[in-house]
Every structure is written in C-alpha cells, then in structure tokens.
Amino acid sequence: MRKKSLSHWHALAVAWLGCLFDGLDASIFTIVLYPALSELLGTKSYSIVGYYGAIIIAFFLVGWALGGLVFGRLADQVGRVKTLIISILVYTIATGLCAISQSWQELAIYRFLVGLGIGGELSVGAIMLSEHWHGRQRLHAVSFMATSWGVGYFATAAISLGLCQASWRNLFAAGVIPALITLYIRLRLSESEKFVALQNYRASLRAENNLKDEQRKVFAEPLKETFKKEMLRPLLVIVAITSSGIIGYWTVLSWIPAWINQLTGTAATYERSVALMVMNLGSIIGAAATGFIVLRIGRKLTIGLAFGLTLILCQIMFNTIHSFDSQLLILLFFCGLFSIMSAVTICIYVPEVFPLHMQGTAFGLAFNFGRIIAAAFALISGQLIATFNGSYALAASALSYVYVLGILAACLLPTPRGGRLNEIEKHLKNSVGKRPTPKEIVSSSAK
Amino acid sequence: MKNINYQRKEGMNMSAEYNIVLLALISIGSQVKTLTQLKTA
C-alpha cells in the first residue's frame, strides 16, 4: 500500500469543495430561471421566459468554454494553485453580481463571467487531482470529486426550499460563499510533485543550448501541440462525447424545473426543489459508482451505457409523465445517476491520453469546446420550445436524441497511451520516482 | 398539458421527504465507500 502525504488529501478537499461550489453556482440559475426572468421581463409567458432563458444559458456556456480554455492554458504556464484561486474568485464575485441584476442583459453578462470561472475551476481541479493521485486511486479520487457537483446542486435545491418565500436574488447572493475556499487553498495547497518537477525541468533546460527535439516540446505552445496529428483523434472523439453530454444536460435536463412549473401550473417551489434534490442524489451515487464501473467494464462501455440509459429514461419521462408524482421522481433519480457517468469517465480518461505539460490546455479544450456547440443548441432549444407551443417536454424529448452522438463517439474512443512515455515524462518519472519529502515539495513550489 | 388545478397530493410531502432522507443516506454511504478505496487501493 502506498501511503499518501497530506498534500494529496488537501488536493482532494480543494477539488471537492471547488466542484461543489461550481455545482451550486451553476445550478442557481436553472432553479430561479422562471421567477427571475418573469420579474426582469415583466411576463408570465413560458415561451418568452424560455426564449430569453435559453439566451442566458448560451452566454453562460460560452463563458464556461472560454474559461476552460483560458484558465487551462494559464494552469500549464503559471501553475494549478494560482489559477484555481483566480477562477474561484471570478465565479463567486460574478454570482454575487447576479443578485443585483436589473435587466436580462445584465444577468446574461454576469452569467457569462460565472461560466468563465467555473470552466477554469473544473478543468484545473480535475488535472490537479490526476497529478496527486495515481493508479486505481486516481479513478476513485476523480469519482469522489464529481460527487460534489451533485452535492452543490442538491444544496441549491435545499436552499431554495428553505427560502421558499425569499427572492431569487437571495439565492444568487448566497453564491458568494465559495470565495472563502480560496483562503484554504492559499494556506494549505501546494503544487503536485509532478508539476514542480516539470517546472524544475523547464528551468534546467533553459540553461542548455543544444536541446533535442523531444526536450524542446517542454517549451512548445500547448494549444498547438494539442492539434498535432497523434492528438487530434482522441481530441475530436472526446469533444464529441463531452458535447453530447453537455448539450443533453443544458438543453434537456436543465429545463426540468421549468417543466415542473408547467406541469403543476404553479410556482411549484416545493416540487422543483424536491425533483432537483432527488435527481442530484442520483448523480452523487452515479459519480461515486463510476470509478468502480470503469474498473469493471472499461471506459467505452461505461460512456456508451450511460448515454444509452439516459436517452431511454428521457424518452419515457418526457413522453409519459403528465403530472408531478412519484413516478417522475423515480425517473429523475435514475436520470441523475446515469447522466453524470460519461462526464466522470472523461475526467478519468483525459490525463491518460495527453502528456503532463499540456494537460491543462488539452483538458480545457476537450472538455469545454463542446460547450460552444451546446450554447448554439441552447438557443435552438428556446426556438424549439416556441415551436412546440411552449411545451418544454416535447422540446426536451426531441433534443435528448443528442445522446446518440455520445454513444457513437464512445465506440471510437482510442485506447490510452499506456506505456509510451515521451522524453519529458521519462524525466519526470525519474524525478518524481525519488519521492521528495513534503517539506521539499512545499519549499520548491514556494520558489 | 397545463394542469392549472394542480394540488399537492396528500401525504406526498411526507413520502417525498422520507425518500430524500433515505437517498441522502445512500449517497453519503456511496461517498464513504469511494473514500475508503482511496485509503486502501
């Protein structure tokens, strides 16, 4: 058994808390979409609220995609810890600003900034975990981190239930709490041994004149490296998988609270909260189980099954449910359980295919490019809702076929690199293999 | 489609809340199970 130092547990705690607050801040809008836009637009029309809600979701997703790219690249250059602090501050401050929005345009801009920070935090958090944890433990660590996404959503629903009579502005105001986590990161978290070794390797190579081609790669532009021939196929397949999951989430599942408003014909604060709590308890269990399932049946099959079962559940739910009852809650639970598995599996898979010096950029690109496409689909979903005479169920049922893309892409997923190590990783392997003491790691990261 | 006369079914609150507590306990259990794997894997 390999004993873990405290830095591994701090990394896990930070990734878990960061992801928790990502979930919290991302979900606030879906739960207050109808009351917030009704107030800002001065209308009760489902079609109009749906149309502008879709535009704001699109802003949020574009921000998320850009955040993943910008902060992912920054993490490769200046380090994971600093990037994590900046990204968390961006999304918490922007969530607080949402509380004082006076128009839908203002809300859209603040949601764009929230997306920017969340995109950065998620990418960097997942990469940082993969650097601190290895082997089977890495799979379970990523799974554990992903459970907090559901906990964040669950917390939003619970807060909403507790603040039934309170304004939607109070929910956004509560979203600034995560800023406190940056203090913990500043005090406790250090860069991983791997990243410190990479920085040291870069520093040692700067002094040399005749570098080999393999050694020059350490200074290469990570974005350019990601588009090289050997990386292009996994990149495209991952983009297709993440796009399918993200489009499905933001154009199908995120409309469920608004759909419940429609089913009940009331404000339905209690019903929306209960539905989201049940769905997210499913996603917590699904995320926790993903590590075990991947170990048993592999990455391809896990992703394929997750998408397939989510599609079936969506079809049953949106075509057969016409009132808020226990049958809906059971379907929502399983929807939450299966829909998260593909995202967790991709978080596990990305560090297996991209080398360390470009992982932040690759992760940001692979995991977030799909959000640009999802943003376009979010706009389409607004149009589709209007086309189906304001019926969220019919629009969501039609859009859920996007999961077929994910199933097809999963079949093409390349096998991870395995033992093929490049020059940089050989050096890092030897360097990290010496396993410096935690004191040495802290002092070298402080430099 | 729209059920304007919707009224929460009697007993639904209790039943839903009981199930949520039960699911919450299961989800905590699943997280603990994952954490134990980190200590022992």
State both tokens at A442. Answer: 């802290």
Residue A291 has its nearest CB partner, among B23, B27, B37, at: B37
Chain B residues whose beta carbon lies within 8 Å of the beta carbon of residue A284: 27, 30-31
How far apart are the C-alpha atoms of A96 and A272, rounded to whole Å? Answer: 23
Neighbouring residues of A219: CB distance < 8 A, sequence distance ≥ 6: A202, A205
| Residue bearing tokens 């955040």 | A67
Kindly report, residue by residue over A92-132, the tens digit of the pLDDT.
889 889 989 999 999 999 999 999 988 888 878 888 888 88
User: Nearest CA of chain A to the CA of B7: how many Å?
Assistant: 8
Are B41 and A136 an interchain contact pair (Cβ–Cβ within 8 Å)?
A: yes
Q: Is the ipTM of this complex over 0.85?
A: no
Are B41 and A150 an interchain contact pair (Cβ–Cβ within 8 Å)?
A: no
Kindly report, residue by residue over A287-340, the tens digit of the pLDDT.
999 999 999 998 999 999 999 999 999 999 999 988 888 889 999 999 999 999
How far apart are the C-alpha atoms of A295 and A290, rounded to whole Å? Answer: 8
Do A190 and A59 form a contact (C-beta atoms < 8 A)? no
Residue A44, classed as helix, strand or coil, is coil
State both tokens at A417. Answer: 């690199």
Do A326 and A274 form a contact (C-beta atoms < 8 A)? no
How far apart are the C-alpha atoms of A156 and A31, rounded to whole Å? Answer: 8
Chain A residues whose beta carbon lies within 8 Å of the beta carbon of residue B26: 281, 285
In chain A the first and final C-alpha atoms are separated, in Å, by: 31
Question: Is pLDDT at A360 greater than 80 in this prediction?
Answer: no
pTM over 0.90: no
How far apart are the C-alpha atoms of A319 and A125, rounded to whole Å? Answer: 38
Torsion of CA A300, A363, A254, A158, to 10 degrees: 110
Are B34 and A143 an interchain contact pair (Cβ–Cβ within 8 Å)?
A: yes
- Name the interface residues of B facing A (CB cutoff 8 Å): 1-6, 8-9, 12-13, 15-17, 19-20, 23-24, 26-27, 30-31, 33-35, 37-41
Distances (CA, A) of B26 to A89, A202, A309, A403: 33, 47, 21, 28
Give the mean pLDDT of chain A. Answer: 81
Residue contacts between A and B (CB atoms, under 8 Å): 86
Kindly report, residue by residue over A400-446, the tens digit of the pLDDT.
999 999 999 999 988 765 444 455 555 555 555 444 444 443 343 33
State both tokens at B22. Answer: 């039960």
Are B3 and A143 an interchain contact pair (Cβ–Cβ within 8 Å)?
A: no
What pLDDT shows up at residue A442? 38
Distances (CA, A) of A239 to A3, A234, A405, A406, A417: 36, 8, 11, 10, 18
State both tokens at A350. Answer: 């990305």
